[in-house]
Amino acid sequence: MTEKPFDIHELLASRRPFFTTAYESLSQGKIKVKPEDFVVDELFEWNFKNSGEHLYCKIKKTNLNTAEAIKLIAKSTSCRARDIGYAGLKDKRAITSQWISVPVKESDISSELLEINNIEIMESHRHDRKLRQGQSLGNRFEINVQDIQVNRETLEKRCSEISLGGFPNYYGSQRFGLQFKNLRKAVSLLLSNNMKQLTKRNGFYLSCLRSFLFNVILSERVKLKNWNTYIDGDLMQLSGTHSVFCSESNDDKIKSRFDSGDIQPVGPLWGSARILPGELAVEIENETLNAYSIIVKNFKLLKVKAGYRPYCAKPKNLKILDIQANSCRLEFELAPGQYATELLSQLFNLEES
């Protein structure tokens, strides 16, 4: 019997970009109608040395994503785009502020060019090291959602539920591209053994594949209603660290540490030297990824170290700033790598302009 060829198009055809939501949608909702509807401020604390070859700048930009802004800044200086450091990527259709590091003298930056392209340098400091991805404390969001039909009481109740119980920590659909374009390309490269192209662009396509497999497992956990608790055999991560271990069943210490927030269940970002879950957790993982076994198998050809990501994300200071007849404005803070659109998807059936 001939094995049916792997068809990524068929497998993705029935999947929504946001996968399974944990909460029932309260209403339709539209975001990013205008850049000012989506405001992001990167949270950052650093002990600057006030000396060194790198100029740290807090920039504010409108309708520019991080990559576009970096190209413009590189053009206004004598440095290469790849030498400019940043802590995280920001959306395009928005007003965003974030920190970057540029290995230049302050006088080398053309403020005129930046102003023409809607980039403002808000403050700057000298430091001796390049800014790396993941070095921010997270992001504060202020988001206007339009075309809604929900009252304040109902919305406040849902916000309280999410503040307490969290939301599924999916990678957002922007990671995979419009209609999964980036993911389709990544799978094509993997199945054709084009490992050189797969790992180019700082491993963008590889990261896309790992993110998708994580989302698939998390989506199944959401369906089983065990995404924001722990089950037998879960991998647990010590909060605020990268330390991971496999939990054992019927362990009162695990329950106590979970309840206190000291540890949290995590899912895999595929790679080598992976710590395997046990018992029920590994059963769910294996059954869920059965349809993607060719992707998982081919991952063994890649020399990339495994990583882990929490299944549950909890926002800080989630509140309603304003609510009108057909719109609301929300404010909240998220840790690095967490997606505002995924939180909003637990409130509304989202449409992006």
For 268-291, the three-class secondary structure string (H helix, E strand, C coil) is EECCECCCCCCHHHHHHHHHHHHH
For the CA atoms of 64, 172, 243, 225, the dihedral, rounded to the nearest 10 degrees, stands at: 160
CB contact set of 141 (below 8 Å; sequence gap of 6+): 38, 39, 40, 330, 331, 332, 333, 334, 340
CB 175 within 8 A of CB 211: yes
CA distance 49 to 58: 16
Structure tokens at 225: 């209603």
Residue-level length of the chain? 353
Task: Give the dihedral sign, CA 218/222/223/226.
Answer: positive
* Catalytic residue list: 91
φ and ψ of 255, to 5 deg? -60, -45
CB 207 within 8 A of CB 186: no
